[in-house]
Structure 1
Amino acid sequence: MLSKLTPLRQLRIVPTGSRHLASAAAAKKDVSTPTKPKTRPENSKSFCMNLFRGKAVFDQVFPYPVALTEEQSEMLQMVTGPMEKFLEEVNDPVQNDLTSEIPKEVLKQAAELGAFGALVPEELEGAGMNNTQLARVAEIVGANDLGLGVTMGAHQSIGYKGILLYGSDEQKKKYLPDLATGRKFAAFALTEPSSGSDANSIRTKAEKTADGKHYVINGGKVYISNGGFADIFTVFAQTPIKQADGTTKDKVSAFIVERAFGGLTSGPPEKKMGIKGSNTVEIHLDNVKVPAENLIGEEGNGFKVAMNILNNGRFGIPAACTGAMKYCIQKTTDYAANRVQFGKKIIEFGDVQEKLADMTTRHYATESIVYMLAANMDAGIQDYQLEAAIGKVAASDHAWTVCDNAIQIHGGMGFMYETHLERVLRDLRIFRIFEGANDIMKLFIALTGSAHAGKHLQQMAKDIKAGGLGTLFGELKRRTVGDGAGNELQSLVHPDLSKYAGDVGAVIVEFGKTVEGLLTKHRKGIIDRQYELTRVADAAIDIYSMVCVLSRATYVLNKQNGNAPHDKKIVELFTRQAVRRVRANLARASAGDDKEVGLIHDIATEISANGGLVQQHPLNL
């Protein structure tokens, strides 16, 4: 399966835009206060980064960035039409699930449609798409077969993405044509038995030969998607790097490894809960001799390469999840409109209506984030690490809930194999784990944003000290009345959405105050306050979702689209519910509840010490 990433012990983000994760010890420094920062902290135009400062910066979220030109739209239709036909007539997700394999002939036909080289330039035999176009393709595939979607994503979103992003011209010319056309397949090899979320602790070693012409790699990787049939692997290994003081330190480097080099073998396919059609194996590297020119980037820079590969490709998960949600909603709508119980169609019952409306708002929010993120990436924006992380968490959580509700509305029929919803639920479960388990990603979101806010708080304190009473009063006024987030947002949205924009603006200010309060109260200890951090992340996810929804609906209302009144209702329902969740999460984060946290700690510790449940059975057995 795709590599599990985003380390818990590596939650320091160095200057904005680098997306480099380091150690928890370093994180403690960043979210507390270094005595004398040498330079002023960098400003960011990222909405989510500024959210942690309680600032409203809407440059990247308004207007809604519909990025495709007429020519790009026509090109996309030329791809999606044949792709939809292929998915309907050729690919068989039920059979793939039963046999735990996607036939090579099916993959070959998908490759002929350009599905495996979407972002590769045409001169290198790729489809030459942008991220927005790729998102649409991933959405269509996700609605049909998430196992095929994982195979595609493991190949192009991460498998050879390192070559596309960081490869030399020679590396790109040598490898990308075969990979873009599906003549060869790629895999991403990072995760190890002892290194899952803590990706920097990998043990695979790469040592340079005496003549400097090769690296010899030894080690093993687990949960590698496409690993059983891939020809080209992006492999991460520790390399000894000489330090300025003359000592040597192991640092991660990235390599292009061909199976044809010899010494790389793969184990049998793993037996999985879902995405069974995709291939997942262990791989073993025994004295694999890799040419020195197959190093990606520089020695010791592999961790940054890995993080940026995953960050860059992370929007593919929300896109696929959006497609899966649409499938579940369509199937449920058809069923609810025809199923009769107690003399009524079940769509007439309030509980069914509530579930269907909830499924729709979750889909609308996810879809809004997907195309916001993809378009910003196409515009060349670099600082989107928090937005990508939020998109991944929100999409995978929403998709799971949507499919679960679809099964619930179908009743016993939903549990049956023939309805196919059980397969979708099994397939969706992994999306909350790989490319950054959601619980780890929430800590990443909260600590990355808090680190950014902490640096600016330090600078603010320094400025107040230097500026005297005038600077102090100016800051007090800003904190009292906010920075006009609500008013500015209201000026950006369609007039029909003004009230909801005002509510969102208010919680943006509340969010910033909460983060500042937590940083002031806990300082270095904030990294260990996972109870509070998780709730801060949940609030951030809801706020960004609301802004994306407002932006999209404004675009629709301004166009006077015939469905605009429906969009407006979705916005109203989503914001009403999300604002309540945000306020509840911020209140719990601010209050902290050490008693509750203590009880959680005690119960878990006692169960662990006992090797299982401690309480006695009611029958005293």
Structure 2
Amino acid sequence: MLRINNFGTRKLIKDVCKQRYYSAAVPKPKTEHETKKEPKRENESFMANIFRGNLVSKQVFPYPDVLTEEQKEITNSLVDPFERFFTEVNDAAKSDANSKTDDSTLKSLWELGGMAIQVPNDYGGLGMNNTQYGRLCQIVGANDLGLGITLGAHQSIGFKGILLYGTQAQKDKYLPKVSTEEVYAAFALTEPSSGSDANSIRCRAVKSADNKYYVLNGSKIWISNGGIAEIMTVFAQTEQIDKKTGEKKDKVTAFIVERSFGGVTSGPPEKKMGIKSSNTAEVYFEDVKIPIENVLGEEGEGFKVAMNILNNGRFGMGATLSGTMKKCIEIATAHANNRVQFGQKLKAYASIQAKLAQMNILQYATESMAFAISQNMDAGSQDYHLEAAISKVYASECAWYVCDEAIQILGGMGFMRDTGLERVMRDLRIFRIFEGTNDILRLFVALSGVQYAGNHLKELQRAFKNPSANLGFIFKEASRRGTDLSAHVVPELMESAKKTAACIDLFGRTTEEVLLKHNKNIIHEQLILNNLADAAIDIYAMVVTQSRSSRASKLNLPTAQHEINLTKALATQASDRVMDNLKKTTSGQQQGQNKLLSVIAQEICNQDGVHTTGPLDQQ
């Protein structure tokens, strides 16, 4: 078996990757002095703004294209070594069967630089930006999601906090370890009593009397790399004094914890449905002394640190799963091109054609989202959190659908282990759960957007109380009604753009109507919020695909017409869903149905399960 270090990867890291993209990949936090000087910044998020019926097109039109020719060349130079690693060194089926990736295989990935893709060159990493990272994630997703979790838990969230919030001393100490010294990192947030509600963690750290260290006690569950990580980003409750009131309050603080501190132990690897080759374990902390200099970010700001780490890494999931979907489509297409049934190849049947087309439509949209977000991040955007959450939800659900359809096309063969799709399906199931369940992320998208729209609505209402003094603001708002995307797309997509514009306009009006009707109680209307979120997700899919395929057409790319066709089909499907979801938010009939479902669910819970008489019971 070929060894990856024969590819000369250390030379690749030091010579080929002599680039400095770190400032673009991970913006440095501003100092307190810089923050105070800054005027109020307008939110440039496309998705946040459509909640208020406002088109801010900067992040979606034209489709972002931030890589320089040199960056593209460097990225392409790494594609072949990464693909060769997965075809010649890694054995995903073996790792799945053994519930462990061979140490020699992991060592090869380290030598390739795959565990430090975004670590700056000065610390031994590849120094790549988000977009370059996403391209390599696609290769991982196409080949081994289990190993992808080991890789992602290490760098996408494990030591990402050090890149985002670390002091210079913290970076100097830890980044060389996690890039060249084969020291694994992990992200330790989840606890038995706090899953999606990360702010309710019970793990506690108490500061010593001399203020030199914290003593940490508690446990974390389901930690990826938890049994092998030597460095962990850990979140714990700490007692903080409110600067305004002087009151003592519990607030979450983030820490860099080394296993070598003592008192850090881990349980046996968890037995899981999928991603078996990745290590998942419970981690225990017993009187762990953490030096005060290992606080990550500000004391009491741990929740913000955790959320920003997760937000910063979510685009990578979309990139990874777009690679998974592409592989599933390739397997299904090969079968359809060769399998003969009833005298014809499967590809001749309309039902198979529809499946393959739909799979490609979803893959194209997923990929378009992921790389629109990564390139906006690399361009310095700070307003990508809604889009990243949407990307994660969309990618994880579409990948499940695509894999399931690929299995269906292969029939019984797809159900067999040797085809590899059953492993992919088991691996995929976790993606709708971890790093924010899709249910919670839908609420996050809807509530964040509604809050943004609500704040703006209050501002508008205040302006109308004194219209003569606010005419400019009022007229500006009035002029925003009526979205027109025609200037942003090629002629062949004009009809699709009109459908999308109509969806955006109705979306803004519906959000306003929902806000006026429910006010602060909107937080309790979760089914309405889900409808809004689903509409938002489809709108984003339509916009990014229209932008990307317009770019392909303008550049006269060989795939341009195919991309245009994918985009048209998506716009037709998605616009119908958007209109349906928005109607549900204000429909009296739908509200009645929602109440009925609630009554049924309450009875199920009261009876601890199904509560009906059997079909053969007499009384």
Alignment of 1:373-388 (within 5 A): 373-388=373-388
Using the alignment, how far apart are the partners of 2:333 and 2:354 within structure 1?
13
Match of 1:596 in 2: 593
Structure 1's 185 and 465: CA in aligned 2 closer, same or farther, altered over 3 A? same
User: Is the Cα contact below 8 Å between 1:238 and 1:252 reproduced in 2?
Assistant: yes
1:456-480 per-position Cα deviation (integer Å, ceiling 9, x unaligned): 000001111211599599669938x
Structure 1's 177 and 472: CA in aligned 2 closer, same or farther, altered over 3 A? closer
Alignment of 1:165-564 (within 5 A): 165-181=164-180, 183-243=182-242, 244-467=244-467, 471=471, 478=478, 483-486=481-484, 489-564=485-560
Question: What secondary structure sits across from 2:191 in the alignment?
Answer: coil
User: Is the Cα contact below 8 Å between 1:151 and 1:226 reproduced in 2?
Assistant: yes
Note the C-alpha offset of 1:246. Answer: 3.0
User: Is the Cα contact below 8 Å between 2:542 and 2:574 reproduced in 1?
Assistant: yes
Using the alignment, how far apart are the partners of 2:177 and 2:293 within structure 1?
19
Query: What letter corresponds to residue 400 of structure 1 in structure 2?
Result: W
Match of 1:79 in 2: 78
1:569 maps to 2:568: no
Question: What secondary structure sits across from 1:61 in the alignment?
Answer: coil
Using the alignment, how far apart are the partners of 1:195 and 1:86 within structure 2?
38
User: Is the Cα contact below 8 Å between 2:463 and 2:474 reproduced in 1?
Assistant: no
Note the C-alpha offset of 1:181. Answer: 2.3
Using the alignment, how far apart are the partners of 1:596 and 1:259 within structure 2?
52
Match of 1:579 in 2: 575
Using the alignment, how far apart are the partners of 1:80 and 1:255 within structure 2?
35
Question: What secondary structure sits across from 1:95 in the alignment?
Answer: helix
Note the C-alpha offset of 1:42. Answer: 6.0
Query: What letter corresponds to residue 494 of structure 2 in structure 1?
Result: S
Using the alignment, how far apart are the partners of 2:583 and 2:422 within structure 1?
37
Match of 1:28 in 2: none
Note the C-alpha offset of 1:504. Answer: 0.7
Note the C-alpha offset of 1:205. Answer: 0.6
Using the alignment, how far apart are the partners of 2:519 and 2:335 within structure 1?
53
Note the C-alpha offset of 1:483. Answer: 3.0
1:388-438 per-position Cα deviation (integer Å, ceiling 9, x unaligned): 000000000100000011111111111111111110000000000001100
List gaps (5 residues or longer) in structure 1.
Answer: 1-16, 18-39
Using the alignment, how far apart are the partners of 1:42 and 1:59 within structure 2?
15
Using the alignment, how far apart are the partners of 1:240 and 1:296 within structure 2?
16
User: Is the Cα contact below 8 Å between 1:332 and 1:406 reproduced in 2?
Assistant: yes
Note the C-alpha offset of 1:327. Answer: 0.5
Tell me the C-alpha RMSD between the 2 structures: 1.9
Query: What letter corresponds to residue 584 of structure 1 in structure 2?
Result: D
Query: What letter corresponds to residue 107 of structure 1 in structure 2?
Result: L
Note the C-alpha offset of 1:43. Answer: 3.2
Structure 1's 468 and 618: CA in aligned 2 closer, same or farther, altered over 3 A? farther
Query: What letter corresponds to residue 308 of structure 2 in structure 1?
Result: N
1:346-380 per-position Cα deviation (integer Å, ceiling 9, x unaligned): 11111111111110000000000011001000001
Higher relative contact order (CA 8 A, sep 6+): 1
Using the alignment, how far apart are the partners of 2:122 and 2:561 within structure 1?
45
Note the C-alpha offset of 1:565. Answer: 1.1
Question: What secondary structure sits across from 1:237 in the alignment?
Answer: strand
Q: Which moved more, 1:589-598 or 1:127-136?
A: 589-598
1:59-118 per-position Cα deviation (integer Å, ceiling 9, x unaligned): 111111122111111211222211110110101000010000012221111111111111
Using the alignment, how far apart are the partners of 1:284 and 1:198 within structure 2?
20
1:238-260 per-position Cα deviation (integer Å, ceiling 9, x unaligned): 11001233321110001111001
Using the alignment, how far apart are the partners of 1:42 and 1:152 within structure 2?
35
1:312-356 per-position Cα deviation (integer Å, ceiling 9, x unaligned): 011111111111100100000000111111111111111111111
Note the C-alpha offset of 1:122. Answer: 0.4
Match of 2:43 in 1: 44
User: Is the Cα contact below 8 Å between 1:490 and 1:499 reproduced in 2?
Assistant: no
Using the alignment, how far apart are the partners of 1:399 and 1:594 within structure 2?
31
Match of 1:37 in 2: none
Query: What letter corresponds to residue 572 of structure 1 in structure 2?
Result: K
1:607 maps to 2:604: yes
1:491-535 per-position Cα deviation (integer Å, ceiling 9, x unaligned): 111122112111111111110000000000000110011111101
User: Is the Cα contact below 8 Å between 1:54 and 1:513 reproduced in 2?
Assistant: yes
Question: What secondary structure sits across from 2:466 in the alignment?
Answer: helix
Question: What secondary structure sits across from 2:90 in the alignment?
Answer: coil
Match of 2:31 in 1: none
User: Is the Cα contact below 8 Å between 1:262 and 1:288 reproduced in 2?
Assistant: yes
1:618 maps to 2:593: no
Query: What letter corresponds to residue 605 of structure 1 in structure 2?
Result: Q
Match of 1:24 in 2: none
1:268-303 per-position Cα deviation (integer Å, ceiling 9, x unaligned): 000000000100000000001111111111110111
User: Is the Cα contact below 8 Å between 1:158 and 1:309 reproduced in 2?
Assistant: yes
Query: What letter corresponds to residue 82 of structure 1 in structure 2?
Result: P
User: Is the Cα contact below 8 Å between 1:56 and 1:483 reproduced in 2?
Assistant: no
Using the alignment, how far apart are the partners of 1:56 and 1:212 within structure 2?
50
Using the alignment, how far apart are the partners of 1:376 and 1:41 within structure 2?
20
Using the aligned pairs only, state the percent identity. Answer: 53
Structure 1's 380 and 474: CA in aligned 2 closer, same or farther, altered over 3 A? closer
Alignment of 1:30-69 (within 5 A): 43-69=42-68
Question: What secondary structure sits across from 1:203 in the alignment?
Answer: coil
Using the alignment, how far apart are the partners of 2:212 and 2:204 within structure 1?
16
Question: What secondary structure sits across from 1:315 in the alignment?
Answer: helix
Using the alignment, how far apart are the partners of 2:470 and 2:268 within structure 1?
69
Structure 1's 354 and 490: CA in aligned 2 closer, same or farther, altered over 3 A? same
List gaps (5 residues or longer) in structure 2.
Answer: 1-26, 28-38
Question: What secondary structure sits across from 1:241 in the alignment?
Answer: strand
Question: TM-score, normalised to structure 1's length?
Answer: 0.91
User: Is the Cα contact below 8 Å between 1:204 and 1:236 reproduced in 2?
Assistant: yes
Using the alignment, how far apart are the partners of 1:206 and 1:104 within structure 2?
34
User: Is the Cα contact below 8 Å between 2:460 and 2:474 reproduced in 1?
Assistant: no
User: Is the Cα contact below 8 Å between 1:255 and 1:294 reproduced in 2?
Assistant: yes
Structure 1's 619 and 247: CA in aligned 2 closer, same or farther, altered over 3 A? same
User: Is the Cα contact below 8 Å between 1:390 and 1:445 reproduced in 2?
Assistant: yes
Using the alignment, how far apart are the partners of 1:122 and 1:470 within structure 2?
52
User: Is the Cα contact below 8 Å between 2:467 and 2:474 reproduced in 1?
Assistant: no
Match of 2:89 in 1: 90
Question: What secondary structure sits across from 1:143 in the alignment?
Answer: helix
Alignment of 1:113-124 (within 5 A): 113-124=112-123
Number of positions where the alignment pairs a residue of Structure 1 with one of Structure 2: 581
Using the alignment, how far apart are the partners of 2:65 and 2:410 within structure 1?
36
User: Is the Cα contact below 8 Å between 1:108 and 1:182 reproduced in 2?
Assistant: no
